[in-house]
Structure 1
Amino acid sequence: MDRSNSSGSSGRSIRQSPYILLSRCMNMTDSHTNETPVVPESLLDSVSLLSKKWHPAIVRCLSNDDGLGFSDLERRLDGISAKVLTDALTDLREYEIIERHEISQSPLRVNYTLTERGKELDDVIESLADWGETHLAEPETEQVVLVADDNKRINTMHTAWLENDYTVRTANDGEETLRNLDTDVGVVVLDRRMPGLSGGEVLDWIRSQRYDIRVVMVTSEDPDFEILDMEFDEYLTKPVRQDELHAVVADLFDRREYSTELQEYLGIRSKLALLQVEYPEETLETNELYQRLRSRLDELESTGIDLDDVDAEAIERLPIGGAE
């Protein structure tokens, strides 16, 4: 089928490449002078060179090294075939953008470096990359924290600590917390004891709705065995330090990207670590739910759960005696 025309009998247009469109523009003339091309030929040539997928990538690779061999470039340019790399290197040598140097003849070893012309082009490519990062990159997803505490002073303080880094919503009781909850909220800083609906009841509601929300329970009460039935992610005892709250909230946003198993593992570990501080070992050994969670923790560890992505400070905050 002949696709040389921009449309066929069906009337559907075929999308033209930027290079072809620029060619058309270049052949147009200014309506006032009938002489000056709208697009100079030099720009068209530059676009032709940079529009080839691997050319800018090769130039960028060579910008940070004294020289790279063919195999080095092939490893760094994930997805490029040997033939495409060979053709691209030939093109760039013809444009005098790179140079080929023979290192040894037996075995044959060569490397490639940028010429002065290539270094000038690399500056242009770097500027284009910076422009794209500024104007074309996807905007960062807004990170929303809901601070829920019936103590207005604490509510105001925690909000002030977080608002420079996050979009912060506030609530003064359980009912207001529910009204401010939606899928935009990523982390809830939740007071355990509030009038009306308690923090525990709010937590149960969040989990029943299956929201992808991480919850840090904040309370003036020491941890007790009731926390074993609560599906929070972290637990802080008042008074909370600013650096402590910042670290936990940042960690909980990271956890939203973790697997379900890893999130479960860290939640269980948080509970066990809290209770190991509060109760002697003999008391823990007689608590059936504690032992059940401890067994589940061991089970998750035995599956080879990957902790490489977990911040080391987060693990240090959750020490478990005998679990590692």
Structure 2
Amino acid sequence: MDDQQDADTGAADRPRVLIVDDEREVADAYALRLRDVADVETAYGGQAALDTVADGTFDVVLLDRHMPGTSGDEVLDELQDAAFRGRVVMVTAIDPGFDVLDMPFDDYLCKPVDREDLVAAVDQQCSILGHELLGDYFGTEAKRRVIAAEFPEEERRSHERYGELETRVEALRRRVGRLLDDPSDLLSSFDDVGRTDE
């Protein structure tokens, strides 16, 4: 469930969204509404959602709360425990109570949800995540550039942690590219800063 998987499996050009609902027709309807803006997968239950997230990098999870077996609330807790690097939107018919104050979701939509609101919520969460990951990218890339300026290529290639850093930099850059409409100006302004005396 991390950015490393993007580098290993190849990142798509669009955000990746997982829709979780035990009612297949609801999950499939949401998937249809989002097909023009994201690469969408569906999971028809809580455990299926956890299994699916474990196998790939998702940017946004749309999560129903009331499901038999593993509930949406339990899935949410599991995602938090696993340090899920995406955004979670609860999409549910359950009227929210004060319990939501302690729940680690990023947005909450009450069913029924129309297409415009669904798309807008996904777009907002992708933008937020893209900017968060852009900060991670800048910090990681700054380290890579400093090392690249100080050590010859042969020495860098033989250093395991440097290789991991390069992989992470590339994965973050690709993920940011699929989440933000046009991050090129932000990336260029980062490139323009002189970080070494070369």
Find out whether 1:241 has 2:114 as its counterpart: yes
Provide the aligned C-alpha RMSD in A: 1.7
Q: What is the CA–CA distance in structure 1 between the aligned matches of 2:79 and 2:15, rounded to whole Å?
A: 18
Question: Which runs of at least 4 in structure 1 moved beyond 3 Å after TM superposition?
Answer: 139-142
Q: What is the CA–CA distance in structure 1 between the aligned matches of 2:22 and 2:89, rounded to whole Å?
A: 16
Q: Which has the higher helix share?
A: 2
> Residue 141 of structure 1: CA displacement?
3.9
- Residues 19, 62 of structure 2: 8 Å contact kept: yes
Unaligned runs of 5+ in 2: 1-10, 134-198
Where does residue 153 of structure 1 map in the other structure? 25
Where does residue 169 of structure 1 map in the other structure? 41
Amino acid at match of 1:216: V
The count of residues paired between Structure 1 and Structure 2 equals 122
Q: What is the CA–CA distance in structure 2 between the aligned matches of 1:178 and 1:211, rounded to whole Å?
A: 11
Greater relative contact order structure (CA < 8 Å, 6+ sep) = 2
> Residue 239 of structure 1: CA displacement?
0.5
Q: What TM-score comes out, normalization by structure 1 length?
A: 0.36
Bigger radius of gyration among the two: 1
> Residue 142 of structure 1: CA displacement?
3.7
Classify the secondary structure of the residue corresponding to 2:124: helix
- Residues 58, 86 of structure 2: 8 Å contact kept: yes
Q: What is the CA–CA distance in structure 1 between the aligned matches of 2:25 and 2:112, rounded to whole Å?
A: 12
Which of 82, 86, 102 is the matching residue for 1:209? 82
Identity of aligned residues (%): 38
Q: What is the CA–CA distance in structure 1 between the aligned matches of 2:36 and 2:14, rounded to whole Å?
A: 13
Q: What is the CA–CA distance in structure 1 between the aligned matches of 2:15 and 2:132, rounded to whole Å?
A: 19
- Residues 94, 110 of structure 2: 8 Å contact kept: yes
Where does residue 226 of structure 1 map in the other structure? 99
Q: What is the CA–CA distance in structure 2 between the aligned matches of 1:178 and 1:233, rounded to whole Å?
A: 18
Q: What is the CA–CA distance in structure 1 between the aligned matches of 2:13 and 2:57, rounded to whole Å?
A: 10
Amino acid at match of 2:100: I
Find out whether 1:179 has 2:51 as its counterpart: yes
